[in-house]
Chain A
Amino acid sequence: MAEYTLKLRRYQPESGEAPYWEEFTIDLDGKRSVLDGILQAKDRQDGSIGIRCSCRAAICGSCGVRINGRPGLACHMHLDEAVERSPDGAIVVEPMGNMPIIKDLIVDMDAVHWKKMQRVTPWLLPDGPPPEREYIVPPESMIDITQTMACIQCGACVSDCLSMEVDPLFIGPAALAKAYRFVGDPRDGQHKERLKDLAEDPHGIYDCTHCFNCIEACPKGVAPMSQIMRLRRIAGSEFEIDDRNNGHRHEMAFVDNIEKNGLLHEADLLPDSYGGKFHPRAVPELVRSLPAILKAVQRGKVTPKKALLHAHKADKQVRRIFDHVHDKDERYELNLYVEGEEDAPEADDSSAAGHTPAERSPNQ
């Protein structure tokens, strides 16, 4: 048994008082969870602490909170690990973000999470009358959507979605991952309609900023952002949905830019994302950006010559790779969640992100 300090953020909206921090000392084994710690404090010291929980085994998704500033399940983190990650030895527990607080650590999931879930029509919409017996589906296509089916609706990804922080109408990571669960399901008959709806919504799939917070937050490996990218890929490449948000146009402007230049030529990317320099849609956007462009020229960041003439041309090998991959009938996607990751060979200790082998680092 060991003593730990929990620093809880307390708040009772109906009291009219501001939120405040309160510390509790608990006595538990380090391998017990943060949730166990909160429940001990509630049991022995203050019965009024508000926390929602049920299974205590990371499967019901009820106890989503922020621990030391990061979203996750309170039952899914050991006390000794939490204390290691704490800034000053006290384990800081707060309610999740992006959702209104009902009391202490309990947030209003109905107001945000479940409402957004409803938004993506989270049920199967098959075409035509159902078959006489069951639907027959190839195993591969069901394996493909198992990643999104692993979601336990805890809201950890919604809590720290940085797009939602500035645009509360953003459909968000959890609901969009759910949308892929149906877009990826061959029994569903409304793939195009679903994607068109999500692409045209100004707060839909093209409102995600690639910040990876949802991937980091998810306790189940759902990787919502990766699912959003798959929705974009299918919307653009398979259904050629040319959305009003410039999402698909931007993607293609970028890809074509690299195919042509090898390196990104920013001066073309902006107008091309709106349909080209002289497109009626581009003109007001470029006018709005004019102050920034002029400032950049004035500071010598960009010269008019550099902006108009791009000296760099793609290596012919780069163009060959573009042609080779684009000529394929089917996209080849590797999902490590499904395939699993091979272990690194013993002798080679450098990981994906390039850890230094011990013998080469002066710090080790």
Chain B
Amino acid sequence: MLDKNGIAKRIAQEVKDGYYVNLGIGIPTLVANYIPDNINVVLQSENGLLGMGPFPFEGEEDADYINAGKQTITTVPGSAFFDSAMSFGMIRARKIHLTILGAMEVSENGDIANWKIPGKMVKGMGGAMDLVASAENIIVAMQHVNKAGESKLLPECTLPLTGIRCVKKVVTELGVFDILPEGGFKLVECAPDVTIEQIKAATKGRLIV
């Protein structure tokens, strides 16, 4: 079974040389730690930065340098700042090659829900709706089941949707799943020491083994 860093490490294998990549908050942010040194990748932060670097050293934090998670960050050589309209312009114009984000639920036809639990939690969608509506290549990083032990890989999402028919791949602590164009979670890899039976038991949506 993978831990959060294990999920991030596995997703980093999907990042290719020359990619511009948008990383969401949570596990997706950790992916940056595992991008191989021998490839060139530019990280986009949708608050207005291409070329996001690591967190600053202590004492070098600057309130004007943050990422979309409001964390203090640095830039790398060749970075560029831009305004919020341009940021989503490049997202809509499909200049971003890969988008990695978290989710509360994913359905077998690629719908995603990650912004609202009616009556309980309403944080807002931030940039997620724009990203999933336009991105060509979306990978979801999440736990396979929620805190109540219920599957987050479903026939249909039960929570308010963020986007429809958009997720291409899901990576959880149990394995890697491709969402097929005709629907269904195709098991691509089992995580270390995870059995197909375990995955079957934790997956409510249609699983193709």
Asked if A and B bind, the verdict is: no
Binding site for B on A (CB under 8 A): none
Binding site for A on B (CB under 8 A): none
